[in-house]
Structure 1
Amino acid sequence: MKRKLVLASPTSLSDRTPVPEGEVVTVLGPSEARLPKRRARPGLTTVERFVAVLSSLVDGDTAVAKVNFTKALEARSPATLRAMTCDLEGYTLFASEQAGAGLPASAERIAEWIDHLEASNQKPATIARKLATLATVHGLLGIPSAVSSSLVRDAMKGLRRRQGKAQRQAAGLRLGEAIGNAPVKGFTLAALMEACGTDLPGLRDAALLSLGYDAGLRVSEILEARVEALEVQDDGSGLLDIDRSKTDQEGQGASVWVSPETVRRIALWREAAAIRTGPLYRRVGVIRTKGHPGRRALAIADLAYNAGVDRERMAAIPARQASVTYVVGDTALTVAAVRSIIRKRALAAADMGLVDLMGEDLEIALGGLSTHSLRVGLTQDLFASGEDAGPIAQALRWSSVGTALRYGRRLAPASNAAARLLAGRRV
């Protein structure tokens, strides 16, 4: 039986070879290796959650028509269904404290729910969305909805009068250069991209941020971007085809312009990750191995007098260089992954001193970032450059000019007709 190997004295430094400098980098492209496993998250799918919560709200005599439910799922995007499920789960908690079944909901109960949501510091826009979910669910059940009743309308009018209509929006990730008369403050696209670095995840993140800003993409459009959808033009710019979006659920499609810089960044990421077809932005698994110095083979004289002889443990140990292996996945990133990328690169930019934010100001700025920040940032830069709301809404594929005005409300006045007329006269 082998005993523990005990040295008579520590091995001297001269008996060791140093750790080789540098790091061995290996990239395994799509389908060349499996991504490192993540801990499974048990739970129901969104559809299963929706069915479960809807079933808990109705009594035994009320049933959802299968055709209604099937068509409702087909008509809504996965993101919309997730939002509806969350809204309905919140209503379920409220209804559980009330007498009787949760659905159908009377006008009085809905008004009480509005008061409950306001007491929870929820904004009018959020509450309006939850009422729309409740109205949709009544339609699934084939029963009239009291959401449009005069009592509910009056309750919402009172809420908006008390709180105002303005809603909190994502902080914009603007380009980083002074455009027009509007100085750029806080986190910028340039700062986040500089913080990405040059390793494989950094190349991916920089390409993702750059495309998201250029085209004003929603997060769903970023995730659905594919190699085949990007056509490089003669001048180095690109055209990206968007098959479907939030305001184009029927898939009529649109094309958006992409700058030459973004085309180059995408090409660098694709070449490094060996991506030829399919989703542009994918998960990258990282496997790191620490380096260690080598050691010569031990002789009997190196052992303690009472040590057993273990030839395997006495054998020479070669020096090992540190290494990192990147494994590129086959499928697109998730919404949570994009959110994590934006926050991670923002924190890195702050650590590198690329933004003038500290303490509470830094926490507030981080809290304002979201997957929508790239789209908001482009909108604000367009307003700052003097563009009107109509062309901006068209460029960013909004169905309403009012949406563009809401996102650029702080910058739109500087480019309106009065500002253009008086800028050179009232100095």
Structure 2
Amino acid sequence: MRRRAAAWIAIYLLLVLAPQAVLLLGEVPPGREFWWDFSMALGFAGMAMMGVQFALTARLRPLTAPFGIDIIYLFHRYLAWIALALVLVHFGILWLGYEEALGPTIDPREAPWELTAGRAALVLFALAVITSEWRKLLRLEYGLWRYAHVALATLGFAAAVAHILGIGYFTAAPVKRVLWLSVTLVWVLLLVWVRVAKPWEQKRHPWRVVAVRPERNDTWTLALEPDGHAGLKGFSPGQFAWLTLRGSPFGLREHPFSIASAPEDLPRIEFGIKALGDFTGRIGEIRPGEVAYLDAPYGVFSIDRVPDAAGFVGIVGGIGVTPMMSMLRSMAARADRRPVWLFYGNKTWEKVVFREELEALRSRLDLRLVHILEEPPEGWQGETGHVTRELLERHLSPELRPRLHHFLCGPPPMTAAAEKALHELGLPAHRVQTEVFELV
């Protein structure tokens, strides 16, 4: 798996650097000053990175398998900032040192179209990054943001290609234009795959809601069964799905949720969904019989990925318990007696989701259940506060810790504190795995 991960990283670097090499083939314009050529290189590198961004969100299983799609999406997010920075520096160098190259005016009615296209691409890319990074602060509804993000990224990319071909610097030769247009065609086909082909496949394999039941802490269990097809294939406990309810799979209204049920329960699958935002706040209104669509399964957050582990530790908070429920239910169905420690943080005792089922699972598993409450009830004898090194030391023996695989899922402050505590305890990095709590 590490070799596959290294191979994909090498492919990414090749895709970003390849345009630079292509530009040097055949007839090359005479070199100018260092900063001019450096600016051109940054512009082409930023453009290549923006193009590869489409691949990172295409949910290509060979690409996501070594890392997990949550890490790929995080990578996509950070690389967007880097690509935008490269393009901004490209523009900044020209503005500071070669102002004549930017034309006499920025008025699109009078400026050369290719320069206007470049400025438009820069603005569109910046808006795509900013509205994604601060979507909640800007109070952008999720569905509206999805539409805007796709439109901004696609139009920005088209404007950038037009800018590059219109300027013609390094790309005037016919063979280079053909190469750039070919690369552009690949990115367009990738977009068609994500926005047309995959939704079409989901449309052909619908699901039906068979149950919606309330849990503690404004959480709902949503159960689905396949409608006219076999259901999920290759599902491992702990993975997640992109779910569409009350809408078309073409409508950009899908949301990622961890699957709470076990593979042994297939074809039926269940989700644990907390009523939090625009979509989830209405989850209790869903009724049995309604149509749903899934793009699944995804993720590497699973006991099946670490068959050599002597046991498992789950450190979860709130609804972050959902993937662990899938793993625990699967272990119970398999009669897997490897030891499990579940450190489960919540604000109050009444907010502990799946509380009764977790207690029942103790009779079927070698499960040590450690509840951690911020506001414990009177007479509480368990752990309080937050996950700390001292708390983990009280429950995990130093001899066994390195042989256990540790799964972390919950609010970012909790997982960051848990990662720090495990690092201080000397846990090897490959024995600690964190699920990114929010993909978007």
What is the TM-score normalised by the length of structure 1?
0.25
Decide which structure has the larger Cα Rg and report it: 1
Using CA pairs under 8 Å that are at least 6 residues apart, name the structure with larger relative contact order, 1 or 2: 1
Structure number with higher strand proportion: 2
